[in-house]
Structure 1
Amino acid sequence: MRWQWTRRSRSLESNNLRAKACLEKLIDWFRSKDGAAIAYSGGTDSTVVAAAAFASLKEKALAITVKSDFIPDDEIEAARAAAKKIGIRHIIHEVRLPRKIMMNPRERCYLCKLLIMGEVKRIAKEWGHYCIADGTNLDDLKSDRPGRRALEEQGIRSPLIDVGVDKAAIKGIAKLLGFDPKAPNSCLATRFTHGARITKLELRKVHLAERAIRERGFDCVRVRNFGELAKIEVERDRIQEFVNMEGLDGLLSKLHDLGFHRVALDLEGYRPSSTDGNGKPTIVQKRE
């Protein structure tokens, strides 16, 4: 037992050393800049980038959060709180998404990212910041992300990629900074099948459904919206726990009240690539 503890301690110490080294590289990345604006969602990735920018540039660092119907209010408030903890100047700018994006075409992610980063770029220039950075990390390059093209077209820099920081290192840095790493999340639009028109009502249904599930201890969750059908994804190793959880009937009643008359559980579990409502639902519980 003592040997196991020693091995675990050494592993934790190694992780801490790596996180410290990565944080120093990030801070150094910003030192050559006259100022910087961070496209800031409040997620773990952009929080780490914002903290490094502030550590290096102080008042010359700016965090910009773009609020839209695709982002729940509680995430905006969480971003506000995290920015305050860092100490960085923070601007929240609200945009109205055009009909073309709300119609949810296949290129929706690209169009939305292009709009949001265009707004970030405009605000940054108003404040005199010409270096604009986001929280895209090394692991993000392993999956197809249509929004990445928009970042390149807008000239957005990704310091986490530039200095070779992956998800594991980001979690370590966040802990060093006193932040609890958040479960991965994405905008609510990813819960809808391409071509299905997105409305404020349907977005609210998804948000409240996911919040109800998170309140029951399942932080990593997606509720895919198929109209009257909700397809739930939780981590695969917690599926049995979800099925057997106390209060399942109450949760189903909550989802029914929101307008989901049928509820399905995806037996393949949560998958980061399972976006935009793709995938066939399994176990269906129908409201009588």
Structure 2
Amino acid sequence: MSVVTTDDEVRAERVSDLLRRLATYDAVVVAFSGGADSALLLAAAVRALGRDRVTAATAVSPSLPAAELDAATAFARGLGVRHLTPRTDEMSRDGYRANGGDRCYFCKAELLDTLTPLAAERGAVVVTGTNADDAVAGFRPGIRAAAQRGAQTPLRDAGLTKQQVRDTSREWGLPTWDKPAAACLSSRIAYGLAISPARLARVERAEARVRARLLQAGHRVTDLRVRDLGAGRARIEVSPALVGFLVGESGLLPEFEAVEVRAFRSGSMNEALAGIAVGASGESD
């Protein structure tokens, strides 16, 4: 008689495998963005190793929205773990500023080159929130940069998918279980446009203004991006139900000359990669 294994049983076994893998380390530094994946990884590390052997590290730079840093700080504090906020300098890397299709490689290289010495000081290894879906997602230069620098990927190695990460996070009572993806601010800049602190700050302010207007009108905001398309053009992407409302909100982004509104699509900026000879898809959302 064949044995039927339920989805929950598969997930439970993978979570057990995750905890076993984490328990083999003396200590870990979790590359903690505050998103669902790295949040579950951080919580799992605490379960496997205890608070004293776990450090969360959130890189601070112009590409990190201030709201994301605040949320990451609150989450780490809730777990009672040490939370480092080292500054990274992606802008010093020509490949990052150039904003080609491999931009994420240079960003992740900067992150790992910053975290690896911090981990060594603590006798720890760096672990990232790469999940099993990421491993089969095609062209992912950031994952390649992390692997080249020895970062470990316990979620991926245990076979945990994005949905399993969310289901486990909900089961554990983590507030990030349904948190929408929140890619770095550089993902809002069309490929080929030079990245600068001013450009990143502009899209951060623009998103904050759109979010505030939606909340003021009583709308729930989940997916929201303001994309800088260059030449004074921008595109607001929101949940489909909110498109009509924003179309009627003229003058919301005075810093741009032309603004269009569309339904949010994760990875929409990657469509331009067809004209960049590095691959067919990227890591931005």
Could you say what secondary structure the match of 1:62 adopts? strand
User: Which residue in 2 is equivalent to 1:109?
Assistant: 104
Please report the TM-score for the alignment, with normalisation by the length of structure 2: 0.81
Pick closer, same or farther for the CA change 1:76–1:96 going to 2, 3 Å: same
Corresponding residue to 1:167 among 144, 155, 162? 162
The aligned amino acid for 1:274 is S
User: Which residue in 2 is equivalent to 1:57?
Assistant: 49
Contact 2:210 2:252 in 1 (8 A): no
Contact 2:36 2:165 in 1 (8 A): yes
Could you say what secondary structure the match of 1:94 adopts? coil
CA shift for structure 1 position 261 = 2.0
Corresponding residue to 1:136 among 127, 130, 133? 130
CA shift for structure 1 position 174 = 1.4
Pairing of 1:52-201 with structure 2 (within 5 A): 52-58=44-50, 59-97=52-90, 98=92, 100=94, 101-129=96-124, 131-143=125-137, 144-180=139-175, 181-201=178-198
Corresponding residue to 2:208 among 207, 211, 236? 211
Please report the TM-score for the alignment, with normalisation by the length of structure 1: 0.81
Corresponding residue to 1:273 among 267, 273, 285? 267
Contact 2:37 2:129 in 1 (8 A): yes
Contact 2:15 2:158 in 1 (8 A): no
User: Which residue in 2 is equivalent to 1:222?
Assistant: 225
Runs of 4+ displaced beyond 6 Å: none
Could you say what secondary structure the match of 1:132 adopts? strand
The aligned amino acid for 1:30 is L
Aligned residues: 255
Deviations 1:187-216 (A, max 9, x none): 111111222112222212211222334442
CA distance in structure 2 between the partners assigned to 1:105 and 1:243 by the alignment = 29
Q: Which of 196-205 and 161-170 deviates more?
A: 196-205
CA shift for structure 1 position 179 = 2.2
Contact 1:190 1:277 in 2 (8 A): no
Pick closer, same or farther for the CA change 1:127–1:263 going to 2, 3 Å: same
Q: Percent same amino acid at aligned positions?
A: 30
CA distance in structure 2 between the partners assigned to 1:107 and 1:137 by the alignment = 20
Q: Establish whether residue 244 from structure 1 lines up as the match of residue 244 from structure 2.
A: yes
